Amino acid sequence: MSIDVKMAWRNIWRNPRRTMLTICAIAFASLLLVFMLSFQFGSYETMINTSVKIHTGHLQIHAHEYLKKKSIRQVVSEPQEIAHLLQTIPKIEAYTFRGQAFSLISSKERTYGVAVTGIDPEREATVSRLKSSVREGEFLAESDKDQALVGKLLAKNLHITPGDEVTLLGQGRDGSIAATVVSVKGIYSSGIDEIDRASIHIPLKTFQEIYAMGNAIHEAVIIVESLSDVDAIKRSLNVKLQSQNPDNPLTAVDWEELMPGLRQSIEMDLVSGLIFYLLLIIVVAFSILNTFLMAIFERTKEFGVLMAIGTTPERLTKVLLIESMTMTSVGTSAGIIIGSLITIYFQSRGIDISGASDLLSQFGITGRIYPKLSWISAISGPLAVLIITFFAALYPALKIKKMRPVEAMRAV
């Protein structure tokens, strides 16, 4: 250990109480940032993963501009080609095909307008949580025809229970009238009112028959192994779709485009969080600035003597900076360690948010939030603390240069 570091270390512990308080302040800010950032990242991941599993998937393949217009005429006419393509791409966990149409649904007493989705029961269960959100009755089976799953609020409005029949009336792909009677096999509750109030699911084959779709579908829904793979897979899909049909290619869109609000609200939450954290760090910086300042005012005489016997001001500045940075490093390290421990504890247990569940279920968060510790969440906050306190420490340390040995030695 160089003599400067040794000197700095001893200087720090000349006043243990003050040093401890300063370190505590820094550690407090750091641990709070580690925990809060992990908490935010964890809840974003929960939000994204639950939201994509409700309906949209990580990626979808559509006819060009389908996302904008959602017209029944914009179809993927050869789903088999897409299936072959998807099988060649690694890291795709599951995929399914769906048809989408708008129709009137009538029970004996009531009529409402709903979104009708044709699903492949077996594949759908691997892509979305529809199967596990069936609350009454049963999920569709592979052999089912003319059976339907109905949203919970819609079932309530229509006064229907499993076993009842409902009539669907809409327009087919070719403009013809599409009408059929289906019986209710199950009732699902996704937790998202919009879906539960205005959607029904029927087998894809039935859907294709009723709406004169032939073999065509509207969307191929894809779940990938990990959120971080989405971008790469989307790019390679789009290249391959382009080469398959250069004139009028299908397009792959990711969850950010499918749910623009989700992405933006995450950004908003992150930015507002950063403003909070920055203000917090500044308050901490000012509240420990005094410790750094005191270090030189108390020791003016000592510095005078040191300079008089030949120590350069640069060296003293260096020692002072080593002192303050040592304190900060000890504080941030303690903060990282304690913060990580707290985070790991909650990472395995989850944080109960039942008090706010009616609010958060609309964002796809139900039950518990699990913070997620990562290198970014563990390091970035404390690093910001380190940088800002460095600037706070710079001001007193630079004051040394203005000291004159003779005057300094006379100071009390």
Partner 1 sequence: MHLQLAWRNVWRNVRRTTIILIAVIIGVWSMILLGSLMRGIAVGMIKNGISTLTGHFQIHRNGYRDDPAIENSMPDPSVVESVLKQVLPEGSLWTRRVRVSAVASNARHSAGVTMVGIDPLTEAKLSFIGTAVSSGRYLTPDDHNGIVIGEALLDKFETKIGHKLVLMSQDTHREMASRAFRIIGTFKAEMESTEKQYVFVNREISQKMLKLDAAISEIGIILPDKPDNPNVYHNLKTALPHDQYEVHNWRELLPFQTAYLRILDGFMYIWYLVVFVAMGFGIVNTTLMAVYERMREFGLLKALGMKPWWILREVLTESFLLLITGMIIGNGLGLVSVYALSGSGIDLSALAAGAEYAGMTRIIYPAIDLKDITIANLVVLVLGLCVSAYPAVKAARFTPVEALTHT
The binding site for partner 1 (CB under 8 A) comprises 17-18, 21-22, 24-25, 28-29, 32, 69, 71, 102, 104, 109-114, 156-157, 170-171, 198, 259-269, 275-276, 279-280, 282-284, 286-291, 293-294, 355-356, 358-359, 362-363
| CA distance linking residue 123 with residue 94, whole number of Å | 8
Q: How far apart are the first and last CA of the chain?
A: 32
Of the pair 198, 342, the CB lying nearest partner 1 is at: 198
* Least distance CB 71 / partner 1 (angstroms): 7
Return the SS3 of 111: strand
Nearest distance, CB of residue 213 and partner 1, angstroms: 17
Q: Which is nearer to partner 1, 236 or 265 (CB)?
A: 265
Nearest to 203 by CA among 183, 175, 176, 178: 183
Question: Shortest distance, CB of residue 289 to partner 1, whole angstroms?
Answer: 5
Q: Which is nearer to partner 1, 69 or 235 (CB)?
A: 69
Q: How far is the CB of 47 from partner 1 (least distance, A)?
A: 10
Nearer to partner 1, 26 or 233 (CB): 26
Q: How far apart are CA 6 and CA 21, in angstroms?
A: 21
Shortest Å, Cβ 120 to partner 1: 25
Q: Which residue, 268 or 308, has its beta carbon nearer to partner 1?
A: 268
Give the Å distances, CA to CA, from 288 to 212, 241, 249, 292. 73, 59, 61, 7
Q: Please say which residue, 60 or 107, places its beta carbon nearer to partner 1.
A: 107
Minimum CB distance to partner 1, residue 272 (Å): 9
Hey, how many other C-beta atoms are within 10 angstroms of the C-beta on 300? Answer: 18
CB of 194 to partner 1, least distance (A): 8
CA dist 155 and 219 (Å) reads 26
- Closest to partner 1 by CB, 89 or 293: 293
Rounded to whole angstroms, how far apart are CA atoms 26 and 329?
9
Nearer CB in complex with partner 1: 23/241: 23
Measured in whole angstroms, how far is the alpha carbon of residue 412 from the centre of its chain?
57
Alpha-carbon distances, residue 306 vs 279, 313, 410 (angstroms):
38, 9, 13
- Best CA proximity match to 188, nearest among 225, 141, 137, 223: 137
**Closest distance of CB 125 from partner 1, Å:** 27
139: CB partners within 8 A, 6+ apart? 121, 125, 130, 131, 149, 185, 186
Q: CB of residue 376 vs partner 1: minimum separation in angstroms?
A: 21
Q: Distance of CA 369 to CAs 36, 231, 292, 345, 346, Å?
A: 12, 25, 40, 13, 9
Q: Which is nearer to partner 1, 3 or 17 (CB)?
A: 17
Q: From the CB of 14, what's the least distance to partner 1, in Å?
A: 12
Residue 72 makes CB contacts below 8 A (sequence gap 6+) with: 100, 101, 102, 171, 172, 173, 211, 218
- CA-wise closest residue to 169 among 109, 198, 214, 210: 210
Helix (H, G, I), strand (E, B) or coil at 69: helix
Spell out where 69-160 has E strands.
Answer: 92-106, 111-119, 134-137, 147-151
Nearer to partner 1, 27 or 307 (CB): 27
Q: Which is nearer to partner 1, 22 or 96 (CB)?
A: 22
Q: How far is the CB of 268 from partner 1 (least distance, A)?
A: 5
Amino acid at 105: I
What's the DSSP call for residue 215?
Answer: T
